Structure 1
């Protein structure tokens, strides 16, 4: 859609590829393709939390209208994962800040701050729980309506600690390559600009090694802005001896 296509045309011409490469400017849903089918679709459609401001709807449109039988999509699989983290200092800085703003009580803004997920880099050592796979996408079979989901999670504590937030990240796979390729945007991997998505909890959870935080993660496109997301979290911690119980839920706008 952007004017960078003008420079792309110059580059194609300078490298003697005008007979092999055709550049089209416009929205996939609106342009007229010069041929009825394609063998391969390549797209970097992923957004924060995988689906925020993503272009996946457009990729699925291209698949349904142009991909030949047995055609390939790159990448073709994506998975959202979750974990629980200890992040007391940063939570106090981001959320507790509103308790005292230069001597004034700004606590009504706490709920607003909690409702906005933070996109930031989380250190692996902050992870209190094992990761949990929550939502999977197969680009060959998924439909646009499937992108609104509600999925269970179970996060097992790997040490006794506090949980201040739940984080989400995604993995991407290119399974149709001669040698399958994948990369992760998780805290255990090299830095990517997608970072991780942090959902701060209203209350601090105290977990012992081996205990599980269970719940549901739900996400759907915003009714007014389809590239924005409405995300909700329901979580519960109950010890085997019933000595501790905690439950809660939060709604987020992204």
Structure 2
């Protein structure tokens, strides 16, 4: 009898061990995300980003007359309130600053008060999809501001919230700033970073840690190009978003379950080994096309590219499972799909299929198997 009880107990343990883990709900994931921003020090990298601050300052200084004066402005994901204060100082009659982090919202109120703008800046705590704007009717906002961009542009998952704000609160013909954002890819030679990783994951306190290296390398990372010679291909623009045209039902294409599916065609410019892709983005403040070529006043642009001034965003590096030997003119063709994370939609998943075409350095070695993989980019990747 005792033996039977033991066997039943073992079966019960096996059954419990075989059960799928209970995943957190969407509400729990959202709450954890917003709590992660409660400490104001989390906002420091953004606040200390000189290139980003300079772009916003230049944009507001270049705004056509009447853009902000007497207008109602909404900041989506206000953090500690920097852009809201800038908009009020640019002449906005009223600024509504919205953030889902209680700590950030409290800090934004304090910042508004410290700058003597508490009568014109109203801070609302809550996700933009869940809140009403005090004293503002739907379609009653003239300008929306947001630092929505994240790792790989779409990491952080702010685009659906921004789309809701545009669809619900922006008046016809209103502005969203920045008003365009483009994602780019370039082929990368990455020997130095891999050598550094091997040193880091070599011997630690006399313990051989190299067995973990393969897993470390397969995870995307934020990094900056160490030298221009690392860039093996001409850059390719993958996709562009016009923020004033965002709609909640189309941010994620229902036909493919992704933000975008992008044809990829990279052409090698010199002979070397390609270890992976580098993704980066550009944003532009054109004020609905009011600034740009031909009118004497250029649009304000911010690039996170490898040859642009450094930003805290850096570039997103995705290493391949193996390197590819390229010669000048070799073509890497395929597609790259960008989709919300499977467990947490604020993460970004990058699904890649890339095949080497042409002879070049690979000639005579037979067919080269394509690079295929899906890479998860956590929203808090730093």
> TM-score, normalised to structure 1's length?
0.88
Q: Unaligned stretches of 5+ in structure 2? A: 1-100, 292-298, 378-382
Corresponding residue for 2:318?
A: 199
Measured against aligned partners, the alpha-carbon deviations of 1:224-250 in whole angstroms (never above 9, x if no partner) come to 211012222111112247535422212
In the TM superposition, residue 20 of structure 1 has moved relative to its aligned partner by 2.9
Look up the match of 1:227: 346
- Corresponding residue to 1:150 among 242, 254, 261: 261
Is residue 178 of structure 2 the alignment partner of residue 75 of structure 1? yes
2:373 equivalent in structure 1? 250
Q: Could you report, residue by residue, the CA deviation over 1:78-125 in whole angstroms, capped at 9, with x for unpaired residues?
A: 111111111123224436976988675854x45533431011111322
Tell me, yes or no, if the aligned pair for 1:115 and 1:251 is still in contact at 8 Å. no
CA distance in 2, matches of 1:110, 1:12: 47
Structure (1 or 2) with the greater helix fraction: 2
Deviates more, 1:175-184 or 1:116-125: 175-184
Local SS of the residue matching 1:197? strand
Distance 2:159 2:304 in 1: 18
> How many pairs are equivalent?
253
**Hey, what's the Cα distance between the residues in 2 that align with 1:95 and 1:15?**
49
What per-residue deviation string (whole Å, max 9, x for no partner) do you get for residues 125-171 of structure 1?
21011101112212122332135322111111111111111111111
SS at match of 1:224: coil
Q: In the TM superposition, what is the alpha-carbon distance from 1:208 to its structure 2 partner?
A: 1.1
Larger strand proportion of the pair: 1
Paired residue secondary structure (1:145): coil
Whole-Å separation in 2 of the counterparts to 1:202 and 1:122: 20
CA–CA separation in structure 1 for the residues paired with 2:106 and 2:326: 56
Q: 3-state SS of the aligned residue for 1:144? A: coil
Alignment of 1:54-73 (within 5 A): 54-73=157-176
Q: Is 1:166 equivalent to 2:277 in the alignment? A: yes
- Give, in angstroms, the shift of residue 14 of structure 1: 5.1
| CA-atom RMSD in angstroms | 2.6
Aligned partners of 1:168 and 1:95: how far apart in 2? 23
Do 1:115 and 1:253's aligned partners in 2 also have CA atoms closer than 8 Å? no
Per mean C-alpha deviation after superposition, the further-off stretch among 157-166 and 89-98 is 89-98
Following TM superposition, by how much is the alpha carbon of 1:6 offset from its aligned partner in structure 2, in angstroms? 4.0
Alignment of 1:49 with 2:152, yes or no, is yes
Distance 2:241 2:233 in 1: 24
* Cα distance between partner residues in 2 of 1:95 and 1:226: 32
**8 Å CA contact retained: 1:128, 1:161:** yes
CA distance in 1, matches of 2:237, 2:342: 27
Contact 1:77 1:138 in 2 (8 A): yes
SS of equivalent to 2:123: coil
Provide the residue aligned with 1:138 in structure 2: 242
Distance 1:128 1:7 in 2: 44
Distance 1:232 1:114 in 2: 16
Contact 1:91–1:164 (CA under 8 A) maintained in structure 2: no
- Aligned partners of 2:264 and 2:199: how far apart in 1? 28
Greater C-alpha radius of gyration: 2
**Aligned partners of 1:8, 1:137: CA distance in 2, in Å?**
28
Structure 1 residues 126 and 139, CA gap change in structure 2 (3 angstroms): same
- 2:302 matched residue in structure 1: 183
